[in-house]
Amino acid sequence: MPEPSLLGDSDALNMACPQEAAAGLAAELPPGPVLELCCGVGGLTRELARAGRRVLAVDKDCSRLKANRANLAALGLEGQVSHLCCDLRRPALRTPASAAPFAACLLDPDWSPPGKPPDQWVSRLKDMSPPADDLIGLAFAFSPLVLIRLPRFFDPECFEVLPFRCTSSEVGGGGERWHWLALRGA
C-alpha cells in the first residue's frame, strides 16, 4: 500500500520535512520523548511517531495541527503524539521544576515568508519571527539537546552570538534543504 500523502496548505507542505530526511533524523535521536516546536502538518512528526517516539507537537497554527493529526491518523499513529496549539512568543509551556523532561527538542521553524521559495529564506536567527535564538532558549528549558533545521543559505556566524553556551554539530541530511544543527547545553 503506498504511503499516504501529507495533507495541508501549500506553504506548509513546501516546508514539511520529507519522509527520508525525517526518518534519518528520528533514527539519530537518543531514546525518550521528543518536544517538536513548529511542527506544522507533521512531516517530521509522523516519522518520530513511526519510530516509536512519544511526541509533544506544538504549532501556532491550529489548521496545521489539525492536518498533523489527520496525517498521523492515516497511518494509525495518532496515539503516539499529543498536540498543543500556542504562539511560542507567548508560550503556554512552562519550564519544568526538575530535570528537562524531553530527550530532545526539535525546532523546524519557518525560515521563509509565506509563498516564498527557499532561495528567499532568511539567513539570520534574529530575522525570523519569532527570533530563532528565542526559540532555542525556550527549547533548552525542556531538553539538554536542541536540534534546529537550518535553511539552505544559513549564516553560521549567527551561532557565535547566542545568549547561552552550547556546542554544535551537524546531523541528518536529506538534500540541500534539510540540514539539522544539534545544540547541546554546555
Q: Break the chain into its structural domains and give their ranges.
A: 16-89+102-113+120-185
**How large a percentage of the chain has pLDDT more than 70?**
68
> What pLDDT is attached to residue 28?
87
The predicted-structure confidence for 41-76, as pLDDT tens digits, reads as follows 999 999 999 999 999 999 999 999 999 999 999 999
- Residue 20, C-alpha cell as written in the block: 527520508
State how far the Cα of 8 lies from the Cα of 91, in Å rounded to an integer.
Answer: 24
Comparing 65-69, 115-119, 161-165, the range with the smallest average pLDDT is 161-165
Q: Which of 117, 107, 105 is nearest to 152 (CA)?
A: 117
State how far the Cα of 168 lies from the Cα of 186, in Å rounded to an integer.
Answer: 10
State how far the Cα of 64 lies from the Cα of 139, in Å rounded to an integer.
Answer: 21
> What pLDDT is attached to residue 89?
73
Residue 163 has pLDDT above 60, yes or no: no
Q: Is-contact 106 21, C-beta < 8 A? A: no
Q: Determine the topology of domain 16-89+102-113+120-185 in CATH.
A: Rossmann fold (3.40.50)
